[in-house]
Amino acid sequence: MAKFKVVLMKHGYDSVEAERNIVVEAGGEFVDADLLSNDEMWRQCAEADAILIRWYPITPELIKQFRRCRIMIRYGIGFDNIDVKAATEAGIIVGHIPAYCVDEVSTHTIALLLACVRKVVATHNKIQRGGWDANPIERMHRMAGRTLGLVGLGKLGQAAARKMSGWGLTIIASDPYLDPARAETLGVTLVDLPTLCRESDYISLHVPLLTETHHLISRRELELVKPGAILVNTARGPVLDAEALLWALDKQKIARAGLDVFEGEPLAANSPLRTHPHVVLSDHVAWYSEESLLELKRTAAEEAVRVCRGELPLAIANPDVLHKLGRFAEWKPGDAVKWQLKRAEMLKGK
């Protein structure tokens, strides 16, 4: 008889053999809900010790049905499709995978930035239409000597800073939870968000979607930017107010934007962002490589097994739940979650 049950909710992956093998080898039962009706999926979740979640929105009503669940694990860095407060109240750990695609997302960030700076997509489209300009009509400027502003200097922001460190840029960042000494080792100067908006030629977003980061970049912040600034978002769509961005593009406060994430996904067919001449788009694919996908799937399964064995996960989105579980004294948080603890402490002090 299996020692524990792990249910992977409807997901759409081509294969879940990596997860299945890890769970079964540890003595657990693995249930792939893609093969089940919705009613049977809910029945299995009610009996599960661990639940793996990709896209499905997890509401307080659903959480009440997860009677045996010890941990819900979100396939990804973000966990905004899970009601974390309700999970905490129910004594369920919310896990996520904060480091699986750091290389991919930071590289994609730079790709979008370069596409905007060098107008790669617009030039490509012009040539496909038969055009050719010996003297480009649209002005371009040298990157060296400019200022890159990173909104958020966690793992992804730090990776971007390291990769851009040899480009002759001044790199600044806004992150209230980061030790200034860490920023200094990266050659990054910490500033507040208004200062970053005023001083940056290029702004790149690297914060999780939380209550306090929803529309963190809104019209108020965009009114501060230099005319002709470039903005890149590979974080979460709602961190950036899309209406404010369109205003800034039309007013030429923002010269170009590179976007991988959007407030509503998939991006609406009639969204003006789809056809805006100064926007470069990708379809929330910054996370992807074959290697990162396998790492994501394996890590999610390993975290489920870890908790089902009575251990604590490597990353946890709701550290307060450990007080409820009476196990906080045993827990030694790693770098992946220290920012969450610091954030919780700061919010309690407000």
Where does the pLDDT of residue 7 fall: very low under 50, low under 70, confident under 90, or very high at 90 and above? very high
pLDDT digits (tens, 9 = 90+) for 253-275: 999 999 999 999 999 999 999 99
Whether omega for the bond prior to residue 208 falls within 30 degrees of 0, making it cis, is no
Beta strands in 181-278 (DSSP E): 189-190, 202-205, 229-233, 254-259
pLDDT digits (tens, 9 = 90+) for 17-39: 999 999 999 999 999 999 999 99
Q: What is the pLDDT of residue 336?
A: 41
User: Alpha-carbon dihedral of residues 166, 168, 173, 178, nearest 10 degrees?
Assistant: 30
Average pLDDT of the chain to the nearest whole number: 92
Q: Which two tokens stand for residue 61?
A: 């009503």
**Contact predicate 317/97, CB 8 Å:** no
The mean pLDDT value for 72-91 works out to 95
- Give all domains of the chain, ordered by start, each with its CATH number: 5-100+289-348 (3.40.50.720), 102-281 (3.40.50.720)
Choice between 333 and 72, residue whose per-residue pLDDT is larger: 72
**Contact predicate 151/174, CB 8 Å:** yes
Q: Exposed, middle or buried: residue 215 (CB in 10 Å: 0-12, 13-18, 19+)?
A: middle
DSSP 49-80: SEEEESS--B-HHHHTT-SS-SEEEESSS--T
Calpha distance 277→259 (Å, rounded): 13
Q: What is the pLDDT of residue 330?
A: 53
Least confident of 216-225, 242-251, 280-289, 333-342: 333-342
Catalytic residue numbers, as ranges: 236, 265, 284
**Contact predicate 73/96, CB 8 Å:** yes
**Contact predicate 100/75, CB 8 Å:** no
- pTM of the model as a whole: 0.88
Cα–Cα distance list, 127 to 122, 136, 137, 162 (Å): 9, 12, 14, 34
Calpha distance 162→186 (Å, rounded): 7
Do the bridges between strand 93-95 and strand 50-53 make them parallel or antiparallel, or are there none, so unpaired? unpaired
Do the bridges between strand 71-74 and strand 93-95 make them parallel or antiparallel, or are there none, so unpaired? parallel
**Contact predicate 122/138, CB 8 Å:** yes
The mean pLDDT value for 85-95 works out to 96
The mean pLDDT value for 328-338 works out to 47
